[in-house]
Amino acid sequence: MAIRRPSQIQIACIPQILKGRDCIGGARTGSGKTIAFAAPILQKLSEDPFGVFAVVMTPTRELALQISEQFAALGASMNLRQAVIVGGMDMIAQALALQKRPHVVIATPGRLADHIRSSGEEAIAGLRRVKFLVMDEADRLLTPGFAEDLEECMNVMAKAKTRQTLLFSATITQSVMQLKESFRHIFVHEVPSNSISIPATLDQTYLFIPTHVREAYLVSLLTLPINEKKSAIVFVNRATTAEVLKRIFRSMDVRVTSLHSQISQRERIDSLGRFRAEAARVLVATDVASRGLDIPVVQMVVNFDIPADPDDYIHRVGRTARAGRTGESIAFVTEHDINRIKAIEERVGKVMTKYELVTESMVIRDSLQQTSNAKREALMDLERENSGSLSKKRRFDGR
Amino acid sequence: MSDSRKRDWFATEDDASDNELHNSDENDVRLQRQPVVKKAKQIADVKKSKRRETVEDNEEKEESRVTTAAKGSNKRTGKVDSILAFTRTDESDEDNDDDNEQEQSEEEPEVEEGLDRDGNPKGILRQLSTTELEDNRAKIEKSGVVYLSRIPPYMKPAKVRQILSRFGELDRVFLAPEDPKSYARRVRFGGNKKRNFVEGWVEFQDKKKAKLAASTLNGNIIGGRKGSYYYDDILNIKYLPKFKWHHLTEQIAYENQVRQAKLRAEISQATKENKAFIRNVERAKMIEHIQEKKRKKQAKTAPNVKAESKPVPNAGEIEMRRNFKQRSVVMHKDKEETMQRVLKNIFA
């Protein structure tokens, strides 16, 4: 790890955390938020190493794994013990790991709550004395979807008086910001103005196209000679769309992999690994991959569907242009997305420019027919494999 | 079960890598349990009449080709005969699928004359003579199929063939491989890496021999040399009365045909949509061009007005507006009671 100079949020937050203050940290994507809480936690831990010292909560499993890697890298010299408690993995092994009282527990709320309910006192006893509770991507965690599980976890953990609580995200919502008013002791590092949550090195563009030819445009875009070598993440809103796109790309001989909730955890980890190692050039993902994941090679983010929440857009495009690198994002705006794109532009504080390199005639000539055939075939195959339904129980056959 | 995996597996087993397998495991199992009568019902089940037409079309086509076939054969036999009646064909899907089905059975010996299987795709069709046809029909009439409801662990088709050929000459053997998922699971937990088969069908050239084999072997140990691997294993074997090999392949062929027809329809629909898109694009270009010209003309006639940046669209220009339903923007989701509690407790 070569970190020579602390980033802004690290300069601001680390001393305050070391002083023992609670903290809300907002900084743009890719600006080193993870280190901003990991470093002081490890510092404090080395003063008095014991049981479960810190709990880090994240909204997605992959993010938890990534944070654990970073903790491992930073804490290698002090024999840091840690446990990752996320869904989709063996629960008994996790319970045993918790019993051994690791220094740091990195968890997703659902699985941790599950352990609290069912793994017995021995496993969760350590959690009662935690000194640090970190919520990464706090604005996502503090939404109703996670509320019940979070409450269950927090009931077990040490009271807020005896622990430090750190909230981090690139987009801090109003409801979280209001906490500042009621609790004066909190240190807040804010994003100065609303335009800042997007890195300056990111080039944001859009393509205004009809819904039914989006796939063809996407294929044309990613097979352009200048884009042919770039690694790209394509964000979609649904798991089915991700699967269909994956199949389309596969039939076009583009090295592709997908990440969404409808494949098993093993496959999720595998496909992310493949993309990290550049064995796959294109990652088709849902919002599972939109937050926190740090993949340096990503040069391009395509929003195949426009997210309903402008904050999600910020996190999605934040997968590229990280830590001072350049990157580009392309939003596919269809006739139905005008309101959404307006809302995004307002939130980001920047008007996107038109992406000029893909033209209609190019799409018609190169990819239109081929893609639509591939799409129909993919849809038919999917229908046959899953009898049309795509519930949680019927997962994709991993291929 | 995934086609590609199965394909791989068969490719390694019989070295028939150029053959595609369309059917899946489920099909194999289904066809065993599906009486032939049901087929008619299935055809009726196909919702779009279009598809049905294509299927029937094919059947008719085939029937018309069997010009030399003997009279009095019903539709089905006519169809099967037509498959057997040509030395090599790649025209209809039906024939292909039959070939594939045969490939699944391991190391085929002499096949019927009609079915040359080593794939020169654009072979010339040679009509068989009447006598040859008659011979073929008699052959089929005489053949019998037995069903093995379980295959002893890891027994390969060659061994099955060896055991059964004691009773008479065999034709085709098909063993359905196990589910690749269960195979993967077994291998992952350190189990046997050999392939398992779950059930099988064997065709005897003579149905008398088939009956004899079934009645002799059913429920009995395989025997042989005392120390041999399968000595104590029991075979469960049944003669299938009035059942021919083509009954097995028919179902798969039919399903494939339906699938192909559906795909064709889908693709033609896609092509239509694409054409509409192309037309619209061209039209937009044309209109843009006309407007551009007009603007230039206006600028020429009244150079003073040029300063005004955007000309108002004239009455003659097409001013089309369509309203599309806009997707909603969801800002931060509404707060609930639990959420409020969490937020309150988070720092105090």
**A36-81 pLDDT per residue, tens:** 999 999 999 999 898 899 999 999 999 999 999 999 999 999 899 9
- Residues A356 and A284 reside in one and the same domain: yes
Could you tell me the pTM of the whole model? 0.69
What is the spatial order of strands in the sheet that A256-259 belongs to?
A: A256-259, A282-285, A231-235, A298-303, A327-333, A202-208, A353-354
Mutate to test the interface with A, among B332, B340, B344 (most CBs of A within 10 A): B332
Q: Is residue A97 part of a domain?
A: yes
Residues paired with A166 in a beta bridge: A23, A134
* Residues A183, B348: C-beta atoms closer than 8 Å: yes
Closest CA of chain B from A349, distance in Å: 16
In A, which residues are within 8 Å of B325 by CB distance?
A: 336
- Residues A144 and A293 reside in one and the same domain: no
Q: Which residues of B touch A (CB under 8 A)?
A: 2, 4-5, 259, 262-263, 266-267, 269-271, 273-274, 277-278, 281, 324-336, 338-339, 341-343, 345-348
Range of A336-340, B55-59, B251-255 with top mean pLDDT? A336-340
- Indicate which CATH number applies to the domain containing A229: 3.40.50.300
pLDDT at B312 over 90: no
Number of domains chain A contains: 2
Closest CA of chain A from B283, distance in Å: 12
Size of interface A-B (CB pairs under 8 A): 121
* Residues B4, A340: C-beta atoms closer than 8 Å: no
- Residues A140 and A203 reside in one and the same domain: no
- Residues A177 and A205 reside in one and the same domain: no
In B, which residues are within 8 Å of A364 by CB distance?
A: 277-278, 281
In B, which residues are within 8 Å of A151 by CB distance?
A: 338, 341-342, 345
* Residues A142, B329: C-beta atoms closer than 8 Å: no
Name the residue facing A143 among B329, B333, B348 (closest C-beta).
B333
Closest CA of chain A from B281, distance in Å: 7
Q: What is the mean pLDDT of chain B?
A: 71
pLDDT at B92 over 50: no
Quote the strand ranges of chain A, DSSP E: 23-26, 54-57, 82-85, 104-107, 132-136, 164-169, 187-189, 202-208, 231-235, 256-259, 282-285, 298-303, 327-333, 353-354
Domain range for A164 is 8-195
Name the residue facing A179 among B4, B271, B347 (closest C-beta).
B347
Instruction: Output the pLDDT for position B340.
Output: 73
Closest CA of chain B from A24, distance in Å: 11
- How far the first Cα of chain A sits from its last, in Å, is 34
Chain A from 168 to 197: CB within 8 A of any B CB: 173-176, 179, 183, 186
**B203-249 pLDDT per residue, tens:** 999 999 999 999 999 999 998 889 999 999 999 999 999 999 999 88
- How far the first Cα of chain B sits from its last, in Å, is 54
Residue A328: pLDDT band with limits 50, 70, 90: very high
Residue A45 CA to residue A53 CA, distance in Å, equals 7
**A93-103 pLDDT per residue, tens:** 999 999 999 99
Q: What percentage of chain B carries pLDDT values higher than 90?
A: 40
Q: Which residue has the higher pLDDT, A124 or B204?
A: B204
- Residues A206 and A295 reside in one and the same domain: yes
CA torsion through residues B82, B84, B89, B90, sign: positive
Name the residue facing A399 among B4, B278, B339 (closest C-beta).
B4
Tokens linked to A284: 């088709």
In A, which residues are within 8 Å of B252 by CB distance?
A: none
Instruction: Output the pLDDT for position A268.
Output: 92
Q: Which residue has the higher pLDDT, B51 or A311?
A: A311
Instruction: Output the pLDDT for position B261.
Output: 94
- Residues A228 and A190 reside in one and the same domain: no
- Residues A109 and A132 reside in one and the same domain: yes
Give yes or no for A341 touching B (CB within 8 A): no
Q: What percentage of chain A carries pLDDT values higher than 90?
A: 52
Least confident of B118-122, B180-184, B200-204: B118-122
Residue A29 CA to residue A138 CA, distance in Å, equals 13
* Residues B329, A144: C-beta atoms closer than 8 Å: no
**B31-67 pLDDT per residue, tens:** 444 444 444 444 444 444 444 444 444 444 444 443 3
- Residues A264 and A244 reside in one and the same domain: yes
pLDDT at A198 over 90: no
| Last residue of one domain, picked from the residues A146, A176, A195 | A195
| Last residue of one domain, picked from the residues A195, A215, A247 | A195
Residue B267: pLDDT band with limits 50, 70, 90: very high
Q: Is residue A399 part of a domain?
A: no
**A222-254 pLDDT per residue, tens:** 999 999 889 999 999 999 999 999 999 999 999
Q: Which residue has the higher pLDDT, B120 or B208?
A: B208
Name the residue facing B347 among A175, A183, A364 (closest C-beta).
A183
* Residues B266, A380: C-beta atoms closer than 8 Å: yes
Q: What is the mean pLDDT of chain A?
A: 88
Q: Is residue A392 part of a domain?
A: no
Residue A383: pLDDT band with limits 50, 70, 90: confident
Which pairs count as long-range contacts for A275-281, CB under 8 Å and 24+ apart, including other chains?
A275/A231, A278/A231, A279/A255, A280/A255, A280/A256, A281/A229, A281/A230, A281/A231, A281/A232, A281/A254, A281/A255, A281/A256
In A, which residues are within 8 Å of B341 by CB distance?
A: 147, 151
Whether the CB-CB separation of A104 and A82 falls below 8 Å is answered with yes
Name the residue facing A337 among B281, B327, B339 (closest C-beta).
B327
Closest CA of chain A from B278, distance in Å: 7
| Alpha helix stretches (DSSP H) within A20-108 | 33-47, 61-74, 91-99
φ/ψ of B41, rounded to 5, equals -60, -40
| Last residue of one domain, picked from the residues A172, A195, A218 | A195
Instruction: Output the pLDDT for position B313.
Output: 52
Least Cα distance to A114 among A82, A88, A83, A81 occurs for A88
Name the residue facing B274 among A145, A154, A368 (closest C-beta).
A368
Closest CA of chain B from A14, distance in Å: 19
Residue B324: pLDDT band with limits 50, 70, 90: confident
CATH architecture of the domain with residue range B139-243: 2-Layer Sandwich (3.30)
**A258-279 pLDDT per residue, tens:** 999 989 888 999 999 999 999 9
- Residues A171 and A263 reside in one and the same domain: no
pLDDT at B90 over 50: no
Query: Span B4-27, mean pLDDT?
Result: 38
Q: Which residue has the higher pLDDT, B244 or A170?
A: B244
* Residues B267, A373: C-beta atoms closer than 8 Å: yes
Least confident of A3-12, A339-348, B73-82, B118-127: B73-82
Secondary structure (DSSP) of A127-182:
GGG-SEEEEETHHHHTSHHHHHHHHHHHHHSPPTTTSEEEEEESS--HHHHTHHHH
In A, which residues are within 8 Å of B338 by CB distance?
A: 144, 147-148, 151
pLDDT at B289 over 60: yes
pLDDT at A12 over 70: yes
Tokens linked to B50: 């279009």
- Residues A352 and A248 reside in one and the same domain: yes
Q: Which residue has the higher pLDDT, B184 or B50?
A: B184
- Residues A62 and A104 reside in one and the same domain: yes
Q: Which residue has the higher pLDDT, A30 or B196?
A: B196
* Residues A173, B332: C-beta atoms closer than 8 Å: yes
- Residues A160 and A207 reside in one and the same domain: no
pLDDT at B91 over 50: no
Residue B336: pLDDT band with limits 50, 70, 90: low
